[in-house]
Amino acid sequence: MRKTRVDRKFAELGKRREKGFIAYLGAGDPCLEDTVDIVLRLEDAGVDVVELGLPFSDPLADGHVNQEAAARALEAGSTFDGVMDSIVQIRKRSEIPLIFYAYMNPLLVRGFENSIRAAAQAGADGFLLLDLPFEEAGPYRQALKQNNLNAIQLITPTTPDERIDKIVKRASGFVYCVSREGVTGVQDKLAEGAGALVNRIKAKTDCPVALGFGIGTPEQAHDAARLADAVVVGSAIVSKFNHNPHTPEGRANAAAFVGEIVNAVKGV
């Protein structure tokens, strides 16, 4: 398998001894044209990787902020094909690594291999499949590999060591460490035990480990970056872009907020 943009980005970060920053964004929120603009603004703010939520009507792993973002995207008419076209538009102007945060239903309904092939052709770099059990993932991981896409694996605080061993052996791109039990959403502080979980994972793999779920302030991001190779921030970014006016000035204000968190991560 050839190296993806995600692989190359983490290799660059490693050489510079620099922590990575991954930003989550709901694709199609508030519309697909704006998604292109926001991704480019995130890149300008220093984001290393963008995680795009593929709109789905029943996002079980998400808290209310990201659920509402998916609902807005669907209400605005976002479709699978429309999201893929937005990736094509981004690729005309940027090589920032892009991964999809996705549930299986929107992929299976069109045929999983067809969906994966379309994403690869559009310019995506990988998938994080939220509701695909590891034990059932073999054929789907193979489809990702055949299309040169990273298979991002999730590990949670309740994952036993024996299962971590199996998961990391099949991970590519990076391992997503969920900092706490529950759904996405900004919390008051970084979850206790997050560092211990990151260490358990890093003891079993050389794959970069990204820490996410619940991180929403520069202080929390700084603390997370001291533990992991990269930090994922989602709900705080989605909320900031949603609550600012959908104007160039509003977008600039939201992007400046992201830049503050990026700087906190890069300062570790």
Positive/negative CA dihedral, 87, 144, 134, 212: negative
Angle at 258 between CA 254 and CA 260, to 5 degrees: 115
List, in sequence order, every residue forming a beta bridge with 127; answer none if it has no partner: 100, 151
Q: Please give the Cα distance from 245 to 219 (Å, whole number).
A: 26
For residue 170, which amino acid is it?
A: R
Q: Please give the Cα distance from 7 to 102 (Å, whole number).
A: 20
Q: Please give the Cα distance from 217 to 227 (Å, whole number).
A: 16
Q: What is each CA distance from 202 to 58, 125, 197, 198, 214, in whole angstroms? A: 32, 23, 9, 6, 21
Selected catalytic residue, list 29, 43, 62, 125 = 62
Selected catalytic residue, list 29, 51, 223, 229 = 51
Q: What is each CA distance from 34 to 31, 126, 142, 241, in whole angstroms? A: 5, 22, 33, 11
Q: Please give the Cα distance from 268 to 262 (Å, whole number).
A: 11
Q: Please give the Cα distance from 24 to 5 (Å, whole number).
A: 17
| CB-facing half-sphere around the CA of 27: CA atoms within 13 A | 24
Q: Reply yes or no on whether 33 is catalytic.
A: no
Q: Reply yes or no on whether 62 is catalytic.
A: yes
SS3 label, residue 245: coil
Please give the positions annotated as active site: 51, 62
